[in-house]
Structure 1
Amino acid sequence: MENDPLVRAAVDVRLRAYAPYSRFLVGAAVETVDGRIFAGCNVENAAYPEGTCAEAGAIAAMAAAGGRRIRRVVVCGGLDAPCTPCGGCRQKIREFAAPDTAVIMVSPQGETLLERTLSDLLPDSFGPGSLS
Structure 2
Amino acid sequence: MASGVEIENLTCIARAMMERAYAPYSRFHVGAAILGESGRVHSGANVENAAYPQGQCAETSAIGAMIAGGDRRIRAIAVMGAPWRDGAPLDSPALCTPCGGCRQRIREFASPDTPVHVCGPEGLRRTFTLAELLPESFGPDNLEF
CA distance in 2, matches of 1:37, 1:12: 13
Match of 2:99 among 86, 90, 95: 86
Please state whether the residue corresponding to 1:29 is helix, strand or coil: strand
Structure 2, unmatched stretches of 5+, are 83-91
CA distance in 2, matches of 1:48, 1:76: 21
Structure 1, unmatched stretches of 5+, are none
CA distance in 2, matches of 1:64, 1:128: 20
| Percent identity (aligned) | 56
Q: Deviations over 1:18-76 (max 9, x none)?
A: 00000000001110122110110000000111100000000000001111010001000
Q: Cα distance, 1:81 vs. partner? A: 2.6
Q: What amino acid sits opposite 2:56 in the alignment?
A: T
Question: Is it true that 1:69 corresponds to 2:77 in the alignment?
Answer: no
Match of 2:129 among 117, 126, 131: 117
Cα RMSD, aligned residues only: 1.4
Question: Is it true that 1:36 corresponds to 2:48 in the alignment?
Answer: no
Q: Cα distance, 1:107 vs. partner? A: 1.1
Alignment partner, residue 30 of structure 2: 26
Match of 2:108 among 70, 89, 95: 95
| Aligned pairs, number | 131
Larger Rg: 2
Alignment partner, residue 108 of structure 1: 121
Which region of structure 1 is more displaced relative to structure 2, 18-27 or 3-12?
A: 3-12
Please state whether the residue corresponding to 2:53 is helix, strand or coil: coil
